[in-house]
């Protein structure tokens, strides 16, 4: 049975997302290491757009559908009553189900991390009935992307599109296995892009929002466009009486995370060590009225409210009450945009920040460290 997790008005499709915390790595200050080409995680060239006179949904599904798989997982969980009172076995099996799609003909599969988290057994079933034993190469709880591998050759492959070019109003087609109903297709439009507050604050994912019907079991399945290209991984739903919204991880982000997983077995996320808050003129007046040692301008911006000791931000002399204006030349308007800009950087590689401090604009160089993880 699919596993459900609900937060206040939020349902994650499949098994629940885990939290991710902080571990520190040593930061080298020597010359930059040589940049290696990322591993190939997709070997299907982008397909040509379909002609308008054709039924684009049918054609798009024909292109991607054969590469969409069902993922069945089995987890062993402890039964505390079994060991103490002898009620049942000491361990029990928990089953879950989700979706995924093949990105390389030799059996590389993208799915959600929460679908395969903690799995002891993974089975992958293709629409043509073939079934394979799957191995989880790794998963990233922060973005909910995971990579599964099966031993096979000449499998059907889904073509990956470009999620950076998406516009609200475009076709959005979901394929997956909701409620165990294999190869289910639903369609709608892209309702919005860059939804950074879709599943809670502090997210590092600019989700794609769609009104295509997505249900438990669709987790990890593809969201595709009218050209038959995967533009996202269906991840979460947000429900309310009378309706609901669906969210997908953009495929460009998923591809970058998958490349890291294939290379090292895990994803890398830089961090600099600041706590931020959106500044408004009203908040600025309240801060200035408290008589603190620093004064902030009465405008909209990104305010540094705390600098964590012994972090890259502290080492770069970023201070409380600084306003962050730019990250690597990119203008930022709110804390989430700073978060996403930092996440696009690399651990140990210099990052340029432009700040406003005491009415002056200054530039600082920060060397991000690896975001610590909590097991």
281: left (phi over 0), alpha (psi -120 to 50) or beta: alpha
> How far is it, in rounded angstroms, from Cα 161 to Cα 39?
18
Catalytic residue list contains 144:
yes
User: For the chain, how many residues are written?
Assistant: 375
Question: Which residue in 140, 144, 322, 343 is the catalytic one?
Answer: 144
Beta strands in 166-242 (DSSP E): 171-176, 184-195, 207-210, 222-224, 230-240
Question: Which residue in 72, 99, 114, 269 is the catalytic one?
Answer: 114
In sequence order, the 6+-apart residues with CB closer than 8 A to the CB of 30 are: none
Catalytic residue list contains 114:
yes
> How far is it, in rounded angstroms, from Cα 115 to Cα 220?
7
Catalytic residue list contains 322:
no
| CB hemisphere CA count around 307 (13 angstroms) | 18
Residue whose C-alpha is closest to residue 251's, from 145, 328, 346, 326: 145
> How far is it, in rounded angstroms, from Cα 36 to Cα 263?
10
H or E stretch at 282: helix 281-289
| CB hemisphere CA count around 360 (13 angstroms) | 4
| CB hemisphere CA count around 278 (13 angstroms) | 10
Question: Which residue in 163, 219, 246, 268 is the catalytic one?
Answer: 219
In sequence order, the 6+-apart residues with CB closer than 8 A to the CB of 125 are: 69, 70, 72, 131, 132, 182
Torsions phi, psi for 86 (to 5 deg): 75, 20
Tokens of 290: 């408290």
The DSSP line for 264-281 is HSS---EE--EEEEEE-H
| Residues annotated catalytic, as ranges | 114, 144, 219
């Amino acid at each position: 049975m699919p596993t459900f997790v609900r937060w206040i008005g939020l349902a994650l499709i499949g098994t629940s997302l885990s939290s991710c915390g902080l571990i520190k790595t040593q930061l080298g200050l020597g010359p930059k290491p040589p940049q290696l080409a990322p591993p190939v995680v997709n070997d299907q060239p982008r397909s040509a757009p379909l002609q308008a006179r054709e039924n684009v949904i049918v054609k798009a599904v024909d292109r991607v559908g054969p590469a969409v798989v069902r993922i069945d997982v089995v987890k062993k969980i402890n039964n505390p009553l079994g060991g103490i009172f002898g009620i049942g076995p000491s361990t029990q099996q928990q089953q879950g189900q989700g979706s995924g799609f093949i990105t390389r003909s030799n059996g590389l599969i993208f799915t959600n991390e929460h679908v395969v988290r903690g799995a002891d057994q993974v089975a992958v079933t293709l629409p043509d009935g073939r079934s394979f034993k799957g191995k989880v190469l790794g998963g990233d709880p922060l973005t909910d992307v995971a990579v599964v591998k099966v031993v096979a050759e000449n499998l059907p492959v889904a073509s990956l599109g470009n999620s950076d070019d998406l516009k609200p109003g475009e076709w959005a087609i979901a394929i997956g296995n909701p409620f165990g109903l294999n190869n289910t297709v639903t369609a709608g439009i892209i309702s919005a892009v860059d939804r950074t507050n879709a599943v809670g604050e502090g997210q590092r994912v600019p989700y794609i929002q769609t009104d295509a019907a997505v249900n438990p079991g669709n987790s990890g399945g593809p969201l595709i466009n009218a050209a038959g290209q995967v533009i996202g991984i269906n991840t979460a739903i947000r429900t309310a009486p009378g309706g609901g919204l669906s969210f997908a991880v953009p495929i460009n982000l998923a591809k970058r995370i998958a490349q890291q997983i294939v290379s090292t077995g895990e994803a890398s996320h830089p961090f600099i060590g600041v706590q931020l808050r959106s500044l408004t003129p009203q908040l600025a007046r309240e801060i200035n009225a408290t008589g603190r040692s620093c004064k902030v301008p009465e405008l909209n911006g990104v305010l540094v409210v705390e600098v964590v000791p012994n972090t890259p931000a502290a080492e770069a002399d970023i201070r409380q009450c600084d306003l962050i204006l730019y990250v690597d030349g990119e203008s930022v308007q709110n804390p989430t945009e700073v978060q996403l800009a930092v996440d696009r950087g690399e651990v140990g590689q210099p990052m340029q920040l432009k700040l406003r401090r005491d009415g002056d604009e200054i530039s600082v160089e920060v060397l991000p460290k690896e975001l610590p993880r909590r097991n």
